[in-house]
Structure 1
Amino acid sequence: MSEVLQREAIVGCILGTAVGDAMGLPYEGIAPDRASRLLGPPDRYRFCFGRGMISDDTEHTCMVAQSLIEAGGDVDLFVERFATRLKWWILALPAGVGMATARSAIKLWLGVKPTSAGVFSAGNGPAMRAAIFGVAIPDVSQMLEMIRASTRMTHTDPKAEFGAIAVALAARHSGAHVAIDSNRWFEQVRDTLGNEATELIALLRRAIESVKAGESTRRFADALGLTRGVTGYIDHTVPVAIHAWLSHPNDFRGAVTSIIECGGDADTTAAIVGGIVGSGVRRDGIPIAWIEGIAEYPRSIAWMQKVAETLATVDFAKAPQQCGAVSRFTTKAPTVKPIAVLLRNLLFLQIVLYHGFRRLAPPY
Structure 2
Amino acid sequence: MTNEDAVLGCLLGQAVGDAMGLPMEGLSRRRGPRLYPRHDRMQFFFGYGMGSDDTDHACMTALALPPRYDERPDYANAFRRDLAWRLRWWFLGVPVGIGKATLKACVKLWLGFPSTKSGVFSAGNGPAMRATVLGAWAENDEELKVLVRASTRITHTDPKAEYGALAVALAANVAATTRDGPAPSAEVLTARLDELLPHDTAADELRGLLRQVVEGIAEGLTVEAFAEKLGLTRGVSGYIYHTVPVALFAFFRHADDYRTAIPAVIRCGGDTDTVAAITGGLIGTRVGKPGIPAEWLASYRDWPWSVGRIERIVKKEMLDFTPGPQMFPFYKFWLPFQIVLLLLMCVAMLLAYPVLVLLRVTTRLLRNFLFFLVVLGHIVRRMLPPY
Q: For 1:344 and 1:18, how far apart are their aligned partners in 2? A: 16
Distance 2:155 2:174 in 1: 26
Mapped to 2, the partners of 1:191 and 1:139 lie a distance apart of 13
- 1:174 maps to amino acid: A
CA offset at residue 308 of structure 1? Answer: 1.8
- Alignment partner of 1:345 out of 368, 372, 375: 368
Matched residue, 1:271: 277
Equivalences for residues 1-364 of structure 1 within 5 A: 5-69=2-66, 73=72, 74-177=75-178, 178-179=181-182, 180-196=184-200, 197-310=203-316, 337-338=359-360, 339-364=362-387
Please give the root-mean-square deviation of Cα atoms over the aligned residues, in Å. 1.8
1: distance between equivalents of 2:222 and 2:144? Answer: 32
Q: Deviations over 1:278-307 (max 9, x none)?
A: 000000000011111111122211001111
Which structure has the bigger radius of gyration? 2
Deviation at 1:212, TM superposition (A): 1.2
Question: For each residue in 1:96-127, what CA deviation from the matched residue of structure 2 results, as whole angstroms up to 9, or x when unmatched?
Answer: 00110011001111111111111100000000
Q: CA-to-partner distance for each residue in 1:205-259, whole Å, 9 max, x for gaps?
A: 1011111111111011111111110001111111111110111010011111111
Instruction: Name the CA distance, whole Å, in 1 between partners of 2:105 and 2:319.
Output: 31
Structure 1: which 4+ aligned runs deviate by more than 3 Å? Answer: 69-73, 311-314
Q: Is the 8 A contact 1:7 1:312 kept in 2?
A: no
Quote the Cα distance in structure 1 between the aligned partners of 2:316 and 2:192: 29
SS at 1:194's partner residue?
A: coil
- Listed one character per residue, the Cα deviations across residues 129-171 of structure 1 (whole Å, up to 9, x for unaligned) are 1010011121321221111011011000000000000000101
CA distance in 1, matches of 2:315, 2:266: 28
Instruction: State the Cα distance separating 1:313 from its structure 2 match.
Output: 5.1
In the superposition, relative to structure 1, how do residues 70 and 345 fare at CA in structure 2: closer, same or farther (>3 Å)?
A: farther
Runs of at least 5 residues in structure 2 that lack an aligned partner in the other structure: 324-357
| Cα shift readout 1:70-118 (whole Å, capped 9, x = no counterpart) | 7865211111111111111111011000110011001111111111111
- What is the distance in 1 between the residues matched to 2:284 and 2:245? 18
SS in 1 for 2:51: coil
Matched to 2:104, the amino acid is R
CA contact (8 A) 2:144 2:170 kept: no
Name the residue aligned to 1:331: none
For 1:39 and 1:181, locate their aligned partners in 2 and report how far apart those are by CA, in whole Å.
32
TM-score, length-scaled by structure 1: 0.91
Q: Is the contact between residue 100 and residue 119 of structure 1 (CA under 8 Å) also seen in structure 2?
A: yes
Q: Distance in 1 between matches of 2:249 and 2:154?
A: 28
Identity percentage over the alignment? 45
> Residue 17 of structure 1 aligns to a residue in which SS?
helix
Cα 1:320–1:299 change in 2 (3 A) is closer
- 2:317 and 2:187 map into 1 onto residues whose CA distance is 30
